[in-house]
Chains A and B, each alone.
Chain A
Amino acid sequence: MSTENTTGQALDARLRVDRPAFTLDLALTAAPGEVVALLGPNGAGKSTALRALAGLLPLTGGHLRLDGRLLEAPEQRVHTPAEERPVGVVFQDYLLFPHLSALDNVAFGPRCQGHPKRAARAEAATWLERMGLADHAAVRPGRLSGGQAQRVALARALAVRPRLLLLDEPLAALDARTRLDVRAQLRRHLAEFEAVAVLVTHDPLDAMVLADRLVVIEHGIEVQSGSPAEVARRPRTDYIARLVGLNLYQGRAEGTQVTLPDGTVLATTEELDGPAFVAFPPSAVTLYRERPQSSARNLWKAEVTGLDLHGDRVRADLSGDLPMAVDLTPAAVAELELAPGVAVWASVKATQTHAYPA
């Protein structure tokens, strides 16, 4: 058994968990101070990965190394139980102990680490103060607001001075307004945190605001990873494309043309060869009732299948040679007399598309 850090990463893991109907197989590395977001749909294996990192779920394969120390490796029969890992967890619904005050919740970790009661409480008080909750130290969790409870949970997790901080859907339990505030605060605290933070979320905005790097999981495996900007610009699966609001197609590129499997051709401006993705935003599409007298190469006949109001825009779903989502102003919808079932022509300028290798 080697305890040497072979990768130069603070977190170096390959998480394999076999379940009867599900397998998680995920390689995960992170440098000190890095915030990694695991992003994926429900049931993708995000929480399983988090529980495995925390030691609440045994790995069936792979390894987990933190700061060069091997914490788990089933093949070498190494398993460090959760209570002995330098890991802090912020649970989705916080799981603050209801019978303890905010202060004693935060002091719980230091107490378990063997600090005397007085020292543990003093440290907890410092953490609460840092979170702006000094006034709420004596309050039981049941009397805290969602945002306050979230901060107590964060303080409690940080108070054990973890080398790996795990956050499970840290903002999911909050209402929309509190969320903005808490997200900004959480971002600040994560930026100050010097060790590795891994956060699990299905909300792409949380992931992009909070994380330095996204790892997108679907069906237990990584489908894409990279900086938030990179993932948003070059989605590689329909799931991410939907999340970041892009129409995405996969086909074969030849020069500035991408041919989809069904023969539809998309004109782009980027020279590529071989398997490729093409993406364009719903707002880049122009709709016509009659075939336009233009020379646009990206022109398809389509049918409106649905209309939905999103904020001040209308999202139209089109079926046809190239199924796509289109964003329009309500005025345009009225002018074009759009309704489900109406036949339209859709065009996209080649300059508005983005092609990249698959």
Chain B
Amino acid sequence: MSDRTTGSDDDRAADRPTDRAADRPTDRAADRPTDGAAGPTRVLPRRRPRPRAHRVPVTLLLPALLGLAFLILPLVGLLIRAPWSGLSEQLTSTAVWDALRLSLISATAATAVSLVLGVPLAWLLARTELPGRRVIRALVTLPLVLPPVVGGVALLLVLGRRGIVGSWLDSAFGITLPFTTTGVVIAETFVAMPFLVISVEGALRAADPRFEEAAATLGASRLTAFRRVTLPMIAPGIAAGAVLAWARALGEFGATITFAGNFPGRTQTMPLAVYLAMESDPQAAIALSLVLLVVSVAMLVGLRDRWLSTP
């Protein structure tokens, strides 16, 4: 810079035309790393130098293998003891299909409700200066750690026919929630939504809020900025949260049986059917469990890119 005033910038200026010709900006597109949003190109993590073999201490190896066996063996047992010969018979019974259909429908509905309510809630937590935000976040995550049965009891106290809100719903609109399919969806949503909120909030925090500012300077209202900029950018986080919530809803037992009961075809979801069958017909319980296992594995395979690849 000093050149300007010290009057000796002629030498530098002489270099410029060659500089300019050497590298047109268009040539550089190829060697720019594409970031995640740009395309499916994924940079493979460079392989770390392998830790020296035969040096794994036994005190770590033994519990590790034991843990692994503990996680795998029950599933193996399920496969071994499955009544393979009578399986087709077991699975064609209408009771099984009713339960499976109810499970899939209610888990999907619970996920949909979680999305509609949870994404805005996550946005509120991540993007606004809400007073008492920390407390609110703690309350949102409470169902994560709360025993589901307690959640069911609590739902019953509020939404039950004699509950705080439920009695009013009953008298004003004639709406009864407990022991209905809607009740199943409510119980599952209560348990599953926190997974979605946490996941989406994390995605929102990782997304640069300045993109929303850029949208604002282009004339976008906050809602438009959220819809057209933020939402597409956090879509992977939302998808991950939705899957987590769906899986949690699919496996929900405690809150469902407490709040919605166990009526076949209406509120009896797969986990409930499995539990009930264990008492009367263990073979059927195993068959039902296999179905849930298949659904779970299918989901895991669908998500392998996300969770099975090491970071």
- Report which A residues bind B (CB closer than 8 A): 54-56, 81-85, 87-89, 91, 95, 97-99, 108-109, 112-113, 140-148, 156-157, 160, 176-178, 180-182, 203-205, 208, 232-233, 243-246, 281-283, 310-313, 327
Are A56 and B217 CB-contacts (below 8 A) given A99-B233, A327-B6? yes
User: In whole angstroms, what is the CA distance A204 to B3 when docked?
Assistant: 12
Q: Can you pick out 13 interface pairs between chain A and chain B where the beta carbons lie within 8 Å of each other?
A: A98-B35, A108-B220, A112-B218, A142-B32, A147-B28, A148-B29, A160-B219, A177-B22, A178-B25, A180-B16, A232-B4, A312-B11, A327-B2
Q: Which of A142, A243, A313 has the most CB of B within 10 A?
A: A142
Query: Which residues of A have CB within 8 Å of B32?
Result: 142-146
Closest to B12 in A: A311
Contact A56/B216 with A143-B34, A244-B5, A311-B12 known, Cβ cut-off 8 Å: yes
* Min C-beta distance of B256 to chain A, whole Å: 38
Q: What's the dominant secondary structure at chain B's contact region?
A: helix
Does B215 lie within 8 Å of A108, measured CB to CB? yes
Contact A146:B38 (CB < 8 A) given known A56-B213, A112-B224:
no
| A83-B220 contact in complex given A99-B37, A140-B37, C-beta closer than 8 Å | yes
- List residues of B (1-48) whose CB comes within 8 Å of A's CBs: 1-8, 11-12, 16, 19-20, 22-29, 32, 34-35, 37-39
Count chain A CB atoms within 10 A of each CB in B6, B208, B217, B219 and give the residue with the most: B217
Complex Cα distance A99/B227, Å?
13
C-alpha gap A81/B218 in the complex (Å): 12
Cβ contacts under 8 Å, B224 to chain A: 112
> Which residue of chain A is the closest to B4 with respect to CB atoms?
A232
Measured between C-beta atoms, what is the minimum distance from A239 to chain B in Å? 12
Q: What 5 pairs between A and B have smallest CB-CB spacing?
A: A245-B2, A142-B38, A147-B25, A98-B37, A112-B219
Cα of A81 to Cα of B20 in the assembled complex, Å: 42
User: Please, how many angstroms separate the alpha-carbon atoms of A87 and B217 in the complex?
Assistant: 7
Given A83-B216, A244-B4, A311-B12: A142 and B39 interface contact (C-beta under 8 Å) = yes
Contacting residue for B221 out of A55, A83, A144, A177, CB 8 A: A83
Known: A97-B211, A112-B224. A88 touches B25 (CB 8 A): no
List 4 additional A-B contacts (Cβ < 8 Å) besides A56-B216, A142-B32: A109-B219, A112-B218, A143-B38, A311-B12
A97, B229: Cβ atoms closer than 8 Å: yes
Q: Closest B-chain residue to A153, C-beta based?
A: B214
Check A142–B216 contact: CB distance below 8 A.
no
* Contact indicator A283/B7 (Cβ below 8 Å): yes
Complex Cα distance A160/B220, Å? Answer: 11
Contact B232 A99 (CB under 8 A): yes
Nearest CB of chain A from residue B65's CB, rounded to whole Å: 44
CA distance A88 to B219 in the complex (A): 9
Contact check, B220 vs A148: say whether CB atoms are below 8 A apart.
Answer: no
Set A91, A180, A282: member contacting B19, Cβ < 8 A: A180
Given contacts A83-B220, A140-B38, A180-B20, contact A245 B211 (CB under 8 A): no
Residues on the A chain within 8 Å of B101, using CB: none
**Whole-angstrom distance between the Cβ of A230 and the nearest chain B Cβ:** 12
Task: Give Cα A63 to B230, complex, Å.
Answer: 31
| A246, B5: Cβ atoms closer than 8 Å | yes
Interface string of B31-75 (1 = CB under 8 A from A): 010110111000000000000000000000000000000000000
Contacts of A142 in B (CB 8 A): 32, 34-35, 37-39
Answer whether A160 and B218 are a contact pair too, CB < 8 Å, given A178-B25, A244-B4, A327-B6. Answer: yes
Q: Provide the residues of chain B in CB contact with A99, threshold 8 Å.
A: 37, 232-233
Which residue of B8, B35, B214 has the most chain A CB atoms within 10 A of its CB atom?
B214
Q: Is the CB of A140 within 8 A of B39?
A: yes
Q: Which of A98, A144, A182 contacts B29 (CB 8 A)?
A: A144
Do A148 and B25 touch (CB < 8 A)? Answer: yes
Most buried by A among B2, B8, B22: B2
Residue of B nearest to A312 (CB): B11
Interface residues of B in 223-248 (CB under 8 A from A): 224, 228-229, 232-233
